Amino acid sequence: MKISLIGYGEVGRILAEDLAPHGHALRAFDLKLADEAGAAAKAMRAHAAAHRVTLAASHADAVRDAELVISAVTASQAVPVAAACAPAIAAKAFFLDFNSASPGAKIAAAGLIADAGGLYVEGAVMTSVPPYRIKVPLLLGGPHAATLAPLLRALGFSPKVASERLGVASATKMCRSVMIKGLEAMVIESFTTARHYGVEDQVLASLTETFPAIDWEKQGAYFFQRVIEHGRRRSEEVREVAVTVREAGLTPWSAGGTAERQAWMADLADEGLFGVKTQAGFARQTDWRVEADRILQHLKKS
């Protein structure tokens, strides 16, 4: 198949790695490619060369003649990407929107693609991509979801049709994210504060008593690392979660606070507090206390 990947970050590259061995013609575009001297662009070019992916010069260049377009960008770019791709999308080409955007944003993006003759399908990725790779649980929505599902299965995906109505799949994802991204933010806030007061062992023991199925040491380290690595993208997603909550008529107090905590961690990561980010990401820490101590030392200095 002729497949276009819009967004060549972590998700885009994983999809390329899993699709390339099967001989598909892959093209990709990412806004970061414009910074030719930047580390991100260099990493993308090296990855594309290794996996036989053709890098395009623009959204339009990437999607022209593609049979399937997969948009996997930051949440705030879901609608702008659809707008940028629409003028060049082929008639009857599928546009799979992987982005963590609100139901309203998905409906707006769908309108842009439909008006251009493309077949829009919303996709809601229901857990972290790296452990599952292309087989990550994926909810599909919209009038063309049932048509696209068997094609995606043949490509190696694990899709499930949520509804022929747009917005249902993304609402499922967004409501889940209130909990999951919120839990990440709460763990960072709780564990770092407990470390400050020297009561982390007592807090962990209490949590284990209440939720014995969770390894809080391991889960804490995982949450710290994921937010350090992807806090910027997560904060944008949770802002879309907040929009989703508002669309339901509620004030997103929890989602709003989560977005701020995720963005705050992303700012610290950008400042180098957690070390130098390489092509492989930040150095992994198996003990969340290492990162909590860095945060506490930073707060003492500020």
CATH of residue 199: 1.10.1040.10
The reply to whether 155 and 228 lie within a common domain is: no
User: What are the pLDDT digits (tens) for 54-64?
Assistant: 999 999 999 99
Q: Is the pLDDT reported for residue 280 higher than 80?
A: no
The reply to whether 155 and 115 lie within a common domain is: yes
The reply to whether 8 and 133 lie within a common domain is: yes
Q: What local confidence, expressed as pLDDT, does residue 285 receive? A: 82
Q: Are 252 and 246 in contact (CB under 8 A)?
A: yes
Q: Give the domain-ending residue among 164, 199, 218.
A: 164
Q: Which amino acid is at 233?
A: R
Residues in CB range of 248: below 8 A, 6 or more apart: none
The reply to whether 12 and 153 lie within a common domain is: yes
Domain containing residue 38: 2-164
The reply to whether 152 and 236 lie within a common domain is: no
Band the pLDDT of 180: cuts 50, 70, 90: very high
pTM summary value: 0.85
Select the more confidently predicted residue: 201 or 128.
Answer: 201
The whole-number average pLDDT for the span 88-102 is 95
Q: Give the domain-ending residue among 97, 131, 164.
A: 164
Distance CA 189, CA 297 (A): 15
The reply to whether 129 and 233 lie within a common domain is: no
Q: Give the chain's mean pLDDT.
A: 95
The reply to whether 113 and 138 lie within a common domain is: yes
Count of structural domains, the chain: 2
User: What are the pLDDT digits (tens) for 224-276?
Assistant: 999 999 899 899 999 999 999 999 999 999 999 999 999 999 999 999 999 87
The reply to whether 144 and 182 lie within a common domain is: no
The reply to whether 33 and 182 lie within a common domain is: no
User: What are the pLDDT digits (tens) for 122-144?
Assistant: 999 998 898 899 999 999 999 99
The reply to whether 79 and 132 lie within a common domain is: yes
Band the pLDDT of 74: cuts 50, 70, 90: confident
Q: Give the domain-ending residue among 164, 194, 213.
A: 164
Closest CA to 101 of 5, 222, 277, 243: 243
* Total Cβ atoms within 10 A of residue 299: 10
The reply to whether 177 and 39 lie within a common domain is: no
160 forms bridges with which residues in the sheet?
139
